[in-house]
Structure 1
Amino acid sequence: MEIKKCLLNDVGEILSLYEAARNLQIQRKMVVWPFFQDAFIINEIKEGRLWKIVSNDLIACNWAVTFEDKEIWGEKDKNDAIYIHRICTNPTLRGNRYIDEIVKWAKQYAIQMGKRFVRLDTLGNNTKLITHYTSSGFDFLGIVKLTDTANLPSHYQKEPSCCLFEIDLRNEGG
């Protein structure tokens, strides 16, 4: 298993993983991600913000990273965090707790980038994801109502309840 930046030739596989994630979200009656355009994914790859775990030549899991997230984090966004978005696991490899590898990687990456926090969010009151993220080291900060969603992907506009999670690297000895 290896963590690497996504490459342009990964776009098709990434879009397939997003489709599988949407299907699971529909099946579990969760907030459903929108369809992401190729250009959106290509841009994230070119900016070096789309990452993957590769296992046996397959993308086992992928996620995006941003360095600001004011619409979601508001006053807490002070250029001191990395933000993880769209964690997506290959459906044939679910249950392998890739979140633990992502957290290990994200802590190192945040320190390397001179950041204090690793943050992520999820929409709705998804108790399974709350448990999943807290079991991997995130503190659950609660649910906030988003008000400034115009520049966010469409699923944020449909569901204003947003769960916030954070790892404070100062409390990690990092």
Structure 2
Amino acid sequence: MTKILNSTIEDIDVIFKLYDEAIVYQKTKFDKHWQGFERTLIETEINEKRQWKIVINGNIACIFAITYEDELIWGVKNNDPAIYIHRIVTDPLFRGNNFIKVIINWAKDFGKLIDKQFIRMDTWGDNEALIQHYTQSGFSFLGLTTLQKSEGLPKHYEGACLSLFEIKITH
């Protein structure tokens, strides 16, 4: 049975293990990768119920984070009522399950409940494989943006050129 649940503080070691595995994997697929995350960031997301996990038969198969504001990346579009999805990581034992579609379906339902109109994501601007994956999964590619400021964001955002994606939530 597959469930999407809020991550708990007891999950934090698994979350960081999955981030570490994801960074190793990213290095084999692309020339850019995450540079690690502050424990306080993940603790805050857990406490604010913005860190999520996909659980299959009692095992954490995938994690992701959400936020409701992303001004440094989205600029004036940040004023739109949106859910911003970040840091999707799949446990290597569960790769190939296309969790992006599971997350999209969940985000549509969750977004309706909290009166949001968009699901949004970003990735590196030149990551063609992820751009194609996200558009094939139902996101519209909105174009590129180069960050002018990244203070408060994870280190890998410094000076980044990003691809932006969006799905309209129909109510």
TM range (shorter): over 0.9
1:89 is matched with 90
* 2:26 maps to 1:3: no
Q: Distance in 2 between matches of 1:111 and 1:76?
A: 19
Where in structure 2 are there 5+ consecutive unaligned residues? none
Deviation by residue 1:20-69 (Cα, 9 ceiling, x = unmatched)? 00001112234211222332211110110000100122111110000000
Secondary structure in structure 1 of the residue aligned to 2:79? coil
Secondary structure in structure 2 of the residue aligned to 1:106? helix
Alpha-carbon contact 1:68-1:79 (below 8 Å) kept = no
- Give the AA of the match of 1:163: S
Q: Distance in 1 between matches of 2:53 and 2:31?
A: 23
Secondary structure in structure 2 of the residue aligned to 1:163? strand
1:120 is matched with 121
Q: Distance in 2 between matches of 1:109 and 1:99?
A: 15
Number of residues paired by the alignment? 170
1:30-49 equivalent positions in 2, closer than 5 A:
30-49=31-50
Change (3 A) 1:30 1:113: farther
1:75 is matched with 76
Q: Distance in 2 between matches of 1:38 and 1:71?
A: 21
Q: Kindly state the Cα deviation for residue 79 of structure 1 after the two structures are TM-superposed.
A: 4.4
Alpha-carbon contact 1:51-1:64 (below 8 Å) kept = yes
1:129 is matched with 130
1:152 is matched with 153
Change (3 A) 1:71 1:100: same
Alpha-carbon contact 2:80-2:117 (below 8 Å) kept = no
Q: What's the TM-score once normalised by structure 2's chain length?
A: 0.94
Alpha-carbon contact 2:101-2:137 (below 8 Å) kept = yes
Q: Distance in 1 between matches of 2:7 and 2:107?
A: 15
Q: Distance in 1 between matches of 2:85 and 2:67?
A: 7
Identity %: 44
Computed over aligned residues only, the root mean square deviation of the Cα atoms, in angstroms, reads 1.2
1:28 is matched with 29
Q: Kindly state the Cα deviation for residue 80 of structure 1 after the two structures are TM-superposed.
A: 0.7
Q: Distance in 2 between matches of 1:112 and 1:31?
A: 35
Deviation by residue 1:64-123 (Cα, 9 ceiling, x = unmatched)? 000000000001111410100000110111111011100000011111111110001011
- Give the AA of the match of 2:141: F
